[in-house]
């Protein structure tokens, strides 16, 4: 039986209907679906932004349309080139292929200014010279209508002159604003003569000191969409009650426009559609707060692998496929929800399970010596045994791993006095060493503190490859319960391995005390040195997939998925654990 086609989400349904009705043109016309991702360059992208990138670019791809990358650089105060560069890199990494050049809202400032002048000329906008506080006071409340400004009905000529003065630096910051003349009694507060422009006497990272006025989001956004011919302008739910304003501005420009009008033809009117934000447990999507974590050095930077920035997740070893699946599967809906952190981790496990080559490594090594190794040949010999590269992908084949007299195993795979259910190694117990032999512990050493320093075993040459030995004379078959990973002491490398836990201890950081930093997890990073990895991991081998971002990812058997950190070198290998194999965290949390 084949799976039924997945239900199409509401935005796909809107587009299906638009195509059926020919709303934006005829199918096959590339402008039938034109979407954009409009970030403000004031921080790095986080996984919430990734949802917007994947949704917008995915729809353009699905419908054979176009996807644009547009910087909403309308605020000169907080924007920096570093953010423009990182955002471009992240959108590209996410697979959001934008059409044409990177676009900047600031390129449209002259056009926006002309349209603002047009609104003044039509009596639909005016310059208000009251102080900011006064204007806010007059806005009224949800239960009280607002109070009209004394400047509301000033002559059009006066507003035109004052607007020109605002533009050319004739007012101090906050000295005047341009407001739309809509309805001071509107039940929708956004329509109570909203501000379109404010005076900011500050140079802009792209337009220099050309402008002394900067447009507000609500005024600017729909115009940007219009100029670019965006068909479906997707934004998050909090803009739902801004939509009437979005439409009002375009309608105001289009008023008295048309064939033969002195103002010109009507302009393109995009459709704003709101969808639910991606919110994730144990973290925050607040850019301001992510910046604080960086500035106050609670993390090592925007791309710290514990951050839910796209750069951080990438450095952690997340694949774009995992991110894309996680954010889209969280739902394109009209309801905000908090996503379980495990869902994000499972998306990565699912992806890497099929693709990541398996290797062996030991994080907390203790020496294991095979005392009868010399009884069956040269005691210094290393035997090559085939290890499976990926049980999920037969074509990945096997690689030789070297087995010899001295090995490293995981310290917690051995107990001096193990309980019955401990299916690993202890005095007198037998276990399988993966892909190699069965070994039985005969003896061990400890230091003055009782810490195990060396484990001694014998091996059974009949178990080569990890297979069970033939039955004994009475027909009894020997069995082992445990299989351990190991690396050969003579054929391994030392590495630093970084293990991460959640950055916050609470699902909703800050909810407990009102202070988000109170919920920072002090143990979110554990750095292990002297870890032992099989030597083959150093150089790429033919079984490794061609990761498009060049980040090499592996499963270390029994330990999780790992990737090489960007600071890793052949002389100083550094691995980041991307995710454990199972959701050990949920189990721990349930216990405590």
So which residues are the catalytic ones? 40, 277, 287
Q: Is 39 in the site for ligand ATP (CB under 6 A)?
A: yes
CA dist 95 and 530 (Å) reads: 37
Q: What are phi and psi of 508, to 5 degrees?
A: -120, 85
Using CB positions, name the residue nearest to ligand ATP: 48
Q: How far is the CB of 9 from ligand ATP (least distance, A)?
A: 14
List, in sequence order, every beta strand (DSSP E) within 181-298. 195-199, 213-215, 232-236, 271-275, 278-280
At closest approach, how far in Å is the CB of 356 from ligand ATP? Answer: 28
Q: Which two tokens stand for residue 527?
A: 């750095």
Indicate whether 51 belongs to the interface with ligand ATP (CB under 6 A).
Answer: yes
Least distance (Å) from ligand ATP to the CB of residue 94? 12
As a whole number of Å, the end-to-end CA separation of the chain is 43
CB of 541 to ligand ATP, least distance (A): 39
Cβ proximity to ligand ATP: between 38 and 509 the closer is: 38
Nearer to ligand ATP, 230 or 409 (CB): 230
According to the binding rule CB under 6 A, does residue 341 interact with ligand ATP?
A: no
Q: Name residues contacting ligand ATP, limited to 406-425 (CB under 6 A).
A: none
Phi, psi of 145 (to 5 degrees): -70, 160
CA distance 157 to 41: 36
Site for ligand ATP (CB under 6 A): which residue of 11, 34, 35, 49? 49
Least gap, CB of 572 to ligand ATP (angstroms): 36
DSSP 348-410: HHHHHHHHPPEE-EESSEEEEEETTGGGGS-TT--EEEEEES-TT-GGG-EEEEEE-SEEEEE
Interface with ligand ATP (CB under 6 A), residue from 66, 243, 287, 553? 287
Identify which range of 40-48, 240-248, 362-370, 441-449 contacts ligand ATP by CB under 6 A: 40-48
Q: Which CB atom, from 160 or from 273, has the smaller least distance to ligand ATP?
A: 273
Contact 457, 369 (CB under 8 A): yes
From 42-50, 224-232, 259-267, 552-560, give the range in contact with ligand ATP by CB under 6 A.
42-50
Instruction: Please identify, using beta-carbon distances, which residue of 194 and 426 lies nearer to ligand ATP.
Output: 194
Token pair recorded at residue 389: 């590269």
- Residue 308 interacts with ligand ATP (CB under 6 A): yes or no: no
Q: Which CB sits closer to ligand ATP, 61 or 291?
A: 291
For residue 49, the minimal CB distance to ligand ATP (Å) is: 5
236: contact with ligand ATP by CB under 6 A: yes
Which DSSP letter does residue 535 get? Answer: G
Enumerate the β-bridge partners of residue 278.
337
What distance in Å separates the CA atoms of residue 580 and residue 592, rounded to the nearest whole number?
A: 19
Minimum distance from CB of 278 to ligand ATP (Å)? 4
Partnered with residue 96 across adjacent β-strands are: none
Q: Is 190 in the site for ligand ATP (CB under 6 A)?
A: no
**How much of the chain is helix, strand and coil, in % rounded to 5?**
30, 25, 45
Specify the residue, 165 or 277, whose C-beta has the smaller distance to ligand ATP: 277
Phi-psi bin for 533: left (phi > 0), alpha (psi -120 to 50), beta?
A: beta
By CB under 6 A, name the one of 42, 188, 207, 483 that touches ligand ATP.
42
Least distance CB 232 / ligand ATP (angstroms): 12
The only residue of 277, 411, 498, 558 in contact with ligand ATP, by rule CB under 6 A: 277
For ligand ATP, which stretch binds (CB under 6 A), given 36-44, 251-259, 387-395, 408-416? 36-44
- Using rule CB under 6 A, residue 38 touches ligand ATP: yes
Which residue, 157 or 238, has its beta carbon nearer to ligand ATP?
238
Decide whether 204 or 287 has the Cβ nearer to ligand ATP. 287
Per-residue exposure over 365-379, b if at least 16 CB sit within 10 Å of its own CB, e if not? bbbbbbebbeeeeee
Q: Is 340 an interacting residue with respect to ligand ATP (CB under 6 A)?
A: no
Does residue 278 bind ligand ATP (CB under 6 A)?
A: yes
CB of 195 to ligand ATP, least distance (A): 17
What is the rounded distance in angstroms from the CA atom of residue 202 to the CA atom of residue 74?
12
Residue 285 binds ligand ATP, judged by CB under 6 A: yes
- Could you give the CA distance from residue 509 to residue 503 in angstroms, rounded to a whole number? 10
Question: Following DSSP, what letter does each residue of 61-93 receive, concatenated?
Answer: HHTT-EEEEEE----TTS--HHHHHHHHHHHHH
**Dist. CA 49–CA 82, nearest whole Å:** 17
User: Residue 242 or residue 553: which is nearer to ligand ATP going by CB?
Assistant: 242
- Minimal distance, residue 46 CB to ligand ATP, in Å: 7
Number of residues that bind ligand ATP (CB under 6 A): 14
Nearer to ligand ATP, 167 or 287 (CB): 287
Least separation in angstroms between residue 48's CB and ligand ATP is 2
By CB under 6 A, residue 553 contacts ligand ATP? no
DSSP string, 473-516: TT-PPP----EE-EEEGGGEEEEEEEEE--SBSSSSTTTTTS-G
Q: How many Cα atoms within 13 Å fall on the side-chain side of residue 291?
A: 11
Q: Which residues fall within 8 angstroms of residue 383, CB to CB, at 6 or more apart?
A: 402, 403, 404
Alpha helices in 234-330 (DSSP H): 243-254, 287-295, 310-316, 320-329
Q: Using CB under 6 A, pick the residue from 24, 48, 270, 304 that binds ligand ATP.
A: 48
Tokens 């310290």 sit at which residue? 411
The answer to whether 34 and 229 have CB atoms below 8 angstroms apart is yes
* 509 sits near ligand ATP (criterion: CB under 6 A): no
40 is an interface residue for ligand ATP by CB under 6 A: yes
Q: Which stretch binds ligand ATP (CB under 6 A): 33-41, 258-266, 387-395, 437-445?
A: 33-41
Chain contacts with ligand ATP (rule: CB under 6 A): 38-40, 42, 48-49, 51-52, 235-236, 277-278, 285, 287
């Amino acid at each position: 039986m084949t799976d039924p086609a997945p239900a199409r989400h509401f935005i796909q349904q809107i587009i299906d209907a638009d195509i059926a009705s020919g709303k934006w043109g005829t199918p096959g016309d590339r402008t039938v679906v034109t979407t954009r991702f409009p970030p403000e360059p004031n921080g790095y992208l986080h996984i919430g932004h990734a949802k917007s990138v994947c949704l917008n670019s995915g729809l353009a791809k699905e419908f054979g349309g176009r996807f644009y990358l547009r910087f909403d650089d309308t605020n000169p105060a907080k924007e920096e080139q570093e953010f423009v560069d990182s955002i471009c890199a992240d959108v590209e990494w996410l697979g959001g292929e934008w059409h044409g050049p990177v676009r900047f809202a600031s390129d449209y400032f002259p056009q926006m200014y002309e349209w603002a002048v047009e609104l003044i000329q039509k009596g639909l906008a005016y310059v208000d010279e009251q102080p900011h506080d006064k204007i806010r006071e007059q806005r009224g409340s949800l239960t009280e209508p607002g109070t009209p400004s004394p400047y509301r009905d000033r002559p059009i000529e006066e507003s035109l002159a004052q607007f020109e003065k605002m533009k050319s630096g004739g007012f101090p910051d906050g000295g005047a604003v341009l407001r739309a003349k809509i309805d001071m009694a509107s039940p929708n507060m956004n329509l109570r003569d909203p501000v379109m422009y404010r005076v900011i006497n500050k140079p802009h990272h792209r337009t220099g000191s050309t402008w002394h006025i900067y447009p507000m989001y609500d005024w600017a956004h729909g115009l940007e969409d219009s100029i670019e011919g965006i068909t479906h302008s997707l934004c998050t739910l909090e803009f739902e009650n801004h939509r009437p304003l979005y439409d009002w501005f375009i309608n105001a420009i289009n008023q008295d426009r048309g064939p033969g009008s002195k103002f010109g033809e009507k302009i393109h009117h995009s459709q704003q559609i709101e969808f639910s934000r991606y919110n994730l447990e144990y973290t925050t999507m607040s850019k301001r707060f992510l910046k604080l974590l960086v500035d106050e050095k609670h993390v090592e930077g925007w791309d710290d692998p514990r951050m839910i920035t796209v750069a951080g997740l990438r450095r952690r070893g997340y694949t774009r496929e995992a991110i894309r699946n996680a954010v889209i599967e969280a739902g394109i809906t009209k309801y905000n929800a908090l996503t379980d952190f495990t869902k994000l981790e499972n998306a990565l496990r699912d992806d890497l399970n099929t693709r990541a080559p398996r290797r062996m490594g030991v994080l907390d090594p203790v020496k294991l010596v095979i005392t009868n190794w010399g009884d069956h040949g040269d005691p210094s010999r290393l035997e090559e045994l085939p290890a499976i590269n990926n049980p999920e992908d037969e074509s990945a084949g096997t690689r030789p791993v070297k087995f010899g007299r001295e090995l490293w195993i995981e310290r917690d795979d051995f107990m001096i006095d193990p309980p019955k259910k401990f299916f690993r190694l202890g005095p007198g117990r037998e276990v399988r060493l993966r892909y190699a032999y069965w070994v039985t512990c005969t003896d061990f050493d400890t230091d003055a503190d009782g810490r195990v320093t060396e484990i001694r075993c014998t091996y059974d040459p009949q178990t080569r490859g990890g297979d069970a030995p033939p039955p004994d004379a009475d027909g009894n078959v020997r069995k082992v319960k445990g299989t351990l990973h190991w690396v050969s002491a003579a054929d391994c490398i030392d590495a630093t391995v970084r293990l991460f836990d959640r950055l916050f201890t609470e699902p909703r950081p800050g909810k407990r005390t009102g202070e988000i930093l109170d919920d920072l997890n002090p143990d979110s990073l554990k750095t292990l040195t002297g870890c032992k990895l099989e030597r083959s991991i150093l150089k790429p081998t033919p079984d490794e997939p061609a990761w498009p971002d060049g980040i090499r990812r592996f499963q270390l058997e029994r330990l999780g998925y790992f990737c090489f950190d960007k600071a890793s070198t052949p002389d100083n290998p550094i691995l980041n654990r991307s995710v454990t194999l199972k959701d050990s965290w949920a189990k721990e949390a349930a216990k405590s």
